[in-house]
Amino acid sequence: MRLFFAAPADFSALSQRHHAFARLLAERGFSVFYLEPLRSPGFGCRISSAGNRLRLVSLQMPFRAANNAFFHNAIVRLSLAVLKLKFKTNDSDVLWVAEPSMAALANCSWSKIIYDRCDLHGFFPGQRLLAWQKYESLLFSRANHILASHQRLLQNIPSDSEAKGILVGNACADEIRSFAGRRSEGRLRLVSSGAHFEWIDCDWLAMLAQHPGIELHVAGSGRGRAFERLIALDSVKFHGKLNQTELFELYRHSDVGLVPFADIELISAVDPIKVYEFAAAGLRIWAKPVAGLRGNVFIDRFVGAYSDLEEAVAGFQPVLQAKPVPRWSERLQTVLDKTGLLRSD
């Protein structure tokens, strides 16, 4: 069975939910065509292999206009025409959409359409809410199943689409292994990983880094003045972008994983993958006290004021045995069971 996977990030980016599902679907026997985000300007289609039954498809279009649904949908329809011509797509193929701006791909006949809703789209910096609402409205009406990584993402879909909803939370990579126990001597080693963009509170991280009992390790990308001030601190080591192996090695030598999300609307429906990774690696997990994170069972401590931080450092106890954490293979099995993807109807 062929499956066309419209992804929100290049396959070469740090592995996240969509990368894991695409790989595992290929392992389960699907011929997966991973559609990377549209490139512009230009026109063309480049295909490469990422392993057995997994191919990467890079479409180059004259322009992109994600914040203008009318023009962008026209470009996506052109992309669909290219896919039909190149791959002879037909109504026995499956469409999996993890990037809402590619919603117009759903405007033809597929055997199944799955919308993987893993964020509160329209609330990212620079996104025009009305455009993203139009994309999602189309997907809500056309999709056979709507996966959601957070319970709130099922609560604000139209009532006539509620029966399509399936809660499929995030998870961690199968290859992460626990290294329970204290990793460092002297100061506690704290790690913050991922994209340190507008939804991250870099001032909160700086407060932690300035405690004499802490050294902070920052991995990933970042932008803005607050981020530049953070990585300039003497007690901060900035690692830049790490591959998955390097990132897991950093976890192995750390004591605490951090969840430094800002208290904004976008974060009210986030199920952080980094929390699963930290827990699987056997790290303690500290977070800024954000309402959207309060129900996360893997977070050990919420640190607000500096007095909370002093208490957290003084009372630190290493993890002696890592908690069992959901793996991506388990999450995919939930999807296959509830959508009947592997059944012949």
Classify residue 65: in a domain, yes or no. Answer: yes
Query: Are 156 and 195 found together in one domain?
Result: no
pLDDT reported for residue 114: 97
Query: Are 124 and 14 found together in one domain?
Result: yes
Residue 256's beta-bridge partner residues?
190, 284
CA distance 37 to 331: 24
Query: Are 145 and 38 found together in one domain?
Result: yes
- Residues with Cβ < 8 Å from 83, sequence gap 6 or more? 4, 35, 57, 59, 89, 105
Look at the chain and report how many structural domains it folds into. Answer: 2
Classify residue 179: in a domain, yes or no. Answer: no
CATH assignment at residue 114: 3.40.50.2000
Per-residue pLDDT of the chain (345 residues; tens, 9 = 90+): 999 999 999 998 878 999 999 999 999 999 999 999 999 999 999 999 999 999 999 999 999 999 999 999 999 999 999 999 999 999 999 999 999 999 999 999 999 999 999 998 988 888 899 999 999 999 999 999 999 999 999 988 888 888 899 999 999 988 777 776 656 677 999 999 999 999 999 999 999 999 999 999 999 999 999 999 999 999 999 999 998 889 989 998 999 999 999 998 888 889 999 999 999 999 999 999 998 898 899 999 999 999 999 999 999 998 877 788 999 999 999 999 999 987 644
H or E element that contains 302: strand 301-302
Query: Are 61 and 9 found together in one domain?
Result: yes
Instruction: Provide the domain limits for residue 248.
Output: 188-314
Query: Are 261 and 205 found together in one domain?
Result: yes
Classify residue 308: in a domain, yes or no. Answer: yes
Question: What's the chain's length in residues?
Answer: 345
Classify residue 182: in a domain, yes or no. Answer: no
Name the nearest CA neighbour of 1 among 36, 34, 28, 38. Answer: 28
Classify residue 102: in a domain, yes or no. Answer: yes
Reduced to 3 states (helix: H, G, I; strand: E, B; else coil), residue 167 is strand
Q: What six digits make up the tokens of 318? A: 């290493």
Classify residue 290: in a domain, yes or no. Answer: yes
CA distance 186 to 168: 40
Query: Are 211 and 167 found together in one domain?
Result: no
Reduced to 3 states (helix: H, G, I; strand: E, B; else coil), residue 13 is coil
Q: What is the pTM of this model?
A: 0.91
Query: Are 137 and 211 found together in one domain?
Result: no
- List C-alpha distances in Å: 223 to 128, 137, 186, 199, 206: 21, 32, 30, 11, 15
Query: Are 103 and 210 found together in one domain?
Result: no
Query: What angle is formed at CA 205 by the lines to CA 170 and CA 257, rounded to 5 degrees?
Result: 40
Query: Are 18 and 142 found together in one domain?
Result: yes
pLDDT reported for residue 345: 42
Query: Are 295 and 260 found together in one domain?
Result: yes
Query: Are 197 and 237 found together in one domain?
Result: yes
CA distance 257 to 199: 17
